[in-house]
Structure 1
Amino acid sequence: MARMHRIDLGGYIYHVINRANARIRIFHNDSDYKEFEYLLTEIKETYNVRILAYALMPNHWHLLLYPRNDGDMSKALHWLTTSHARRHHIKNKTIGNGHLYQGRYKSFIIKGDKHLLTVLKYIERNPARARLCNVAEAWRWGSAFRRVCGTTAEQQLLAGLPLDLPKNYLEWINTPEPSEELKAIRHSVNMGVPYGG
């Protein structure tokens, strides 16, 4: 069966996710997370893809990407996943043990400002929802931390958003999403359809 054609148009914002094969841990310690953040810096600089938000979880990751040109996102993510898998296998002495990721990354266009904020919140709250931290900005390996606690240099990974965050950002990001929003985002991920109207 042929793979579904991937949409990769510049000028659109995408929610991107990839999971480890068999949901194994791909980030075991701080250096694993730092290495991946370094790779994110590389895709930002080399492929000119804007990173609006991200969350690195023990066995998967979420990105909110804003590519400038058609094809940029696919090139950037191919390099990211290939480089990460190679480095992971070398570091953990697992070369020849199979795929690191369960498959190709999934990406979905986000339509509209309201939906962009909903997905940004979904991504940045992911660690708190998974009980890896009490508040989103406490998770060192995500954009909420960089936005609130990061140094000026750390904040450089994140591109400016095309809209303003809520003025009460910390309260907003730490208030659980309504179940309808979570269901709608998960439907987008599971069905491979754009999120929003």
Structure 2
Amino acid sequence: MGRPKRADEAGGIYHALNRGNSRAAIFDTPDDFDAFERILAEGLSRYPCQILAYQLMPNHWHLVVRPTADGGMSDLLRWVTLTHTMRRHAHCHTSGEGHIYQGRFKSFPVQDDRHFLVVCRYVERNARQAGLVTLAEDWKWGSLARVPSVKLRSFDFQPGSGKLSSSCSSSSCRRSMSR
């Protein structure tokens, strides 16, 4: 019997995450973080999804994802985790030496606008809560650091560039993320 199909409908918004096997680091250097961002951008050029917020932490990552086709998030994240694992093993010359991720990604549907704000705030403040930075926007590997000073919300990777663009301005939202 196969696994139950996860919620992954076009237009829905989901908080997706995965972490290293046994909570081990999956990003050791700035180059590791950058490589994952490039893989994610490449995946977004292949699969129908938007990233609304994200945060890469040393031993896990969080994405707020909006699939634009049914099954898009599962396809994207399956490809991203598999590609990241294969490229990391190739780069580190550890092919066949075990798992990088604890398992499949987890995802939770965002219920409404208020929940969306709570999820984005949680995701974008993760490095601050972990004591890695004083201000959430100072963490280089998250969507909040990619936003111009007065803009926030609705992020999309620019495929191939590894960069995010944003629309919708809100300095009050930006300030609330920093607290």
The alignment yields a C-alpha RMSD, in angstroms, of: 2.0
Output the CA distance in 1 between the equivalents of 2:175 and 2:164: 21
Output the CA distance in 2 between the equivalents of 1:141 and 1:20: 17
Would you say the 8 A contact 1:13–1:64 is kept in 2? yes
Report how many aligned residue pairs link the two structures.
169
CA-to-partner distance for each residue in 1:138-161, whole Å, 9 max, x for gaps? 000000100147xxxx97444657
Output the CA distance in 2 between the equivalents of 1:174 and 1:99: 34
CA-to-partner distance for each residue in 1:113-161, whole Å, 9 max, x for gaps? 1110110000000000001111011000000100147xxxx97444657
Residue identity over aligned pairs, in percent, reads 43
| 2:178 paired with 1:169 | no
Would you say the 8 A contact 1:147–1:155 is kept in 2? no
| 2:65 paired with 1:61 | no
Partner of 2:80: 80
Output the CA distance in 2 between the equivalents of 1:155 and 1:2: 33
TM-score if structure 2 supplies the norm length? 0.87
Output the CA distance in 2 between the equivalents of 1:146 and 1:130: 20
Partner of 2:116: 116
Corresponding residue SS for 1:66: strand
Would you say the 8 A contact 2:147–2:165 is kept in 1? no
**Which runs of 5 or more structure 1 residues have no equivalent in the other structure?**
176-197
**Which runs of 5 or more structure 2 residues have no equivalent in the other structure?**
150-155
Would you say the 8 A contact 2:16–2:106 is kept in 1? yes
